[in-house]
């Protein structure tokens, strides 16, 4: 029969006190309970651990030889318990998160600043991923959680709603007055588009441009919203982007215009491995994230 931790604790308490009575006082047990635990341990090992006398109890040669090992075992167990307590209280641990580049640039710093202020001992690692690959990073175990726009969920990944985020038309600053705030579906179809997300492009073509989901010859594919905005600022292309990206409007020479219709809001989700409990660090971060969405975001799943 495997030795129990209670037996080891009783053994060490008697060895330290050199008395069953003294050990019972230290363990807040009765003397008979301590005697029973030590007797069970001796029976399991088939060797005596103490020489008992009216004056107390002294270790046998075998008992003395195993005392350091028993002490190390209990110290290791206590360390495990302390580590678990530290994790629960976020005195240690890791936060590994994947976000798209623009979300990581425009939204993440403020949330992480608050998180680090609250939990300075937690190690933080951020992976910048394309919006279409956030779920892949989670599925492959590169990160514990991912945050990004709604995507088809990869195998082995679960998702939870965070916020809906306003989407806006991004145009060259020089063309903002011409495009104006009123743009019909026909006007949008005549514009040259930059497509920076395969999944989102399919939705735009379906609900906004009224054309097949395949890319049109006049459009350009640029997988990265930063690069897409840089291209728009120097040409005649347009795209649709999250409103929080307007932080970089002046830097890239673009303007963000209001957008109406089904493409005007987008759901953002948190992604994690299915059937895996979140670490305390990840759970604490997501709680902060839900309450501190990007500019203009809404906690209503329907937007």
Distance CA(278)–CA(283), nearest Å, equals 6
Distance CA(221)–CA(262), nearest Å, equals 22
The domain made up of 166-257 is a member of CATH 3.90.1150.10: no
Burial of 181 (0-12, 13-18, 19+ CB in 10 A): exposed
Mean pLDDT over each residue of the chain, to the nearest integer: 85
Residue 212 in this model has a pLDDT that exceeds 60: no
Going from the C-alpha of 292 to that of each of 112, 160, 164, 195, 285, the distances in angstroms are 11, 16, 12, 28, 11
SS3 at position 104: helix
Q: pLDDT tens digits for 181-207?
A: 446 656 777 788 888 776 666 666 666
Start and end residues for every CATH 1.10.10.10 domain found in the chain: 5-88
Distance CA(18)–CA(15), nearest Å, equals 5
What percentage of residues in the chain have a pLDDT greater than 90?
43
Q: What architecture is domain 94-164+266-290?
A: 3-Layer(aba) Sandwich (3.40)
pLDDT at 277: 80
Nearest in space to 271 (alpha carbons), one of 254, 286, 253: 286
SS3 at position 124: strand
Start and end residues for every CATH 3.40.190.10 domain found in the chain: 94-164+266-290, 166-257
Residue 252 in this model has a pLDDT that exceeds 70: yes
pLDDT-derived band of residue 90, with 50, 70 and 90 as boundaries?
Answer: low
Contact 110, 130 (CB under 8 A): no
Q: What architecture is domain 5-88?
A: Orthogonal Bundle (1.10)
């Amino acid at each position: 029969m495997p030795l129990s931790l209670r037996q080891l604790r009783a053994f060490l308490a008697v060895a330290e006190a050199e008395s069953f009575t003294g050990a019972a006082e230290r363990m807040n047990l009765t003397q008979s309970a301590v005697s029973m635990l030590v007797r069970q341990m001796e029976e399991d090992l088939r060797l005596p651990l103490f020489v008992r006398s009216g004056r107390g109890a002294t270790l046998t040669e075998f008992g003395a030889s195993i005392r350091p090992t028993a002490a190390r075992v209990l110290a290791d167990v206590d360390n495990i318990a302390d580590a678990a307590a530290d994790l629960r209280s976020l005195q240690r641990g890791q936060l590994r998160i994947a976000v798209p580049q623009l979300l990581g640039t425009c939204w993440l710093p403020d949330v992480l600043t608050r998180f680090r202020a609250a939990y300075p001992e937690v190690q933080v690692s951020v992976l910048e991923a394309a919006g279409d690959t956030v779920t892949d990073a989670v599925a492959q175990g590169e990160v514990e959680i991912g945050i990004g726009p709604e995507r088809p969920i990869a195998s082995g990944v679960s998702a939870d709603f965070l916020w809906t985020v306003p989407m806006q038309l991004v145009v060259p600053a020089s063309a903002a007055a011409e495009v104006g705030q009123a743009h019909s579906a026909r006007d949008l179809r005549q514009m040259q588009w930059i497509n920076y997300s395969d999944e989102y492009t399919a939705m735009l073509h379906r609900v906004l441009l009224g054309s097949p989901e395949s890319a049109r010859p006049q459009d350009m594919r640029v997988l990265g919203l930063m690069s897409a905005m840089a291209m728009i600022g120097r040409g005649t292309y347009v795209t649709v982007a999250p409103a929080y990206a307007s932080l970089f409007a002046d830097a890239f020479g673009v303007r963000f215009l209001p957008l109406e219709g089904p493409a005007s809001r987008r759901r953002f989700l948190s992604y994690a491995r299915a059937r895996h409990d979140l670490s305390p660090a990840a759970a604490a971060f997501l709680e902060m994230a839900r309450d501190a969405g990007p500019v203009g975001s809404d906690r209503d799943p329907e937007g």
